[in-house]
Amino acid sequence: GAVVSQHPSRVICKSGTSVKIECRSLDFQATTMFWYRQFPKQSLMLMATSNEGSKATYEQGVEKDKFLINHASLTLSTLTVTSAHPEDSSFYICSARGTDSYGYTFGSGTRLTVV
Amino acid sequence: GESVGLHLPTLSVQEGDNSIINCAYSNSASDYFIWYKQESGKGPQFIIDIRSNMDKRQGQRVTVLLNKTVKHLSLQIAATQPGDSAVYFCAEKDSSYKLIFGSGTRLLVRP
Pick from A36, A110, A37: which is nearest to B41 by CA?
A110
Of A41, A95, A108, the CB nearest to B8: A41
Which chain A residues are closer than 8 Å to B45 by Cβ?
106
Residues 6+ apart with CB under 8 A from B60: none
What is d(CA B28, CA B16) in angstroms, rounded to the nearest whole number?
A: 35
pLDDT at B26: 87
What is d(CA B38, CA A40) in angstroms, rounded to the nearest whole number?
A: 12
pLDDT at B2: 40
If you measure CA to CA, which chain B residue comes closest to A32? Answer: B97
pLDDT at B67: 96
Checking if the pLDDT of A54 tops 90, the result is no
Which chain B residues are closer than 8 Å to A59 by Cβ?
1
Residue A98, judged by CB atoms within 10 A of its CB (0-12, 13-18, 19+), counts as middle
Of B1, B4, B44, the CB nearest to A106: B44
Pick from A43, A92, A40, A38: which is nearest to B36 by CA?
A43
pLDDT at B102: 93
| E strand or H helix at A112 | strand A110-114
Pick from A108, A114, A34: which is nearest to A69 by CA?
A34
Half-sphere exposure of B100 (CA within 13 A, CB side): 20
Express as a percent the part of chain A with pLDDT over 70.
Answer: 99
Name the β-bridge partners of A113.
Answer: A12
Per-residue pLDDT band at A98 (split at 50, 70, 90): confident
- At residue A15, φ and ψ (nearest 5 deg) are -55, 135
Checking if the pLDDT of A9 tops 50, the result is yes
Pick from A39, A26, A51, A52: which is nearest to A92 by CA?
A39
Q: Encode chain B (111 residues) as per-residue pLDDT tens digits.
A: 344 344 689 999 999 999 999 999 989 999 999 999 999 999 999 999 999 999 999 999 999 999 999 999 999 999 999 999 999 999 999 888 899 999 999 999 999
Per-residue pLDDT band at A101 (split at 50, 70, 90): low
Which chain B residues are closer than 8 Å to A34 by Cβ?
98-99
What is d(CA B80, CA B54) in angstroms, rounded to the nearest whole number?
A: 25
Asked if omega into A86 is within 30° of 0 (cis), the reply is: no
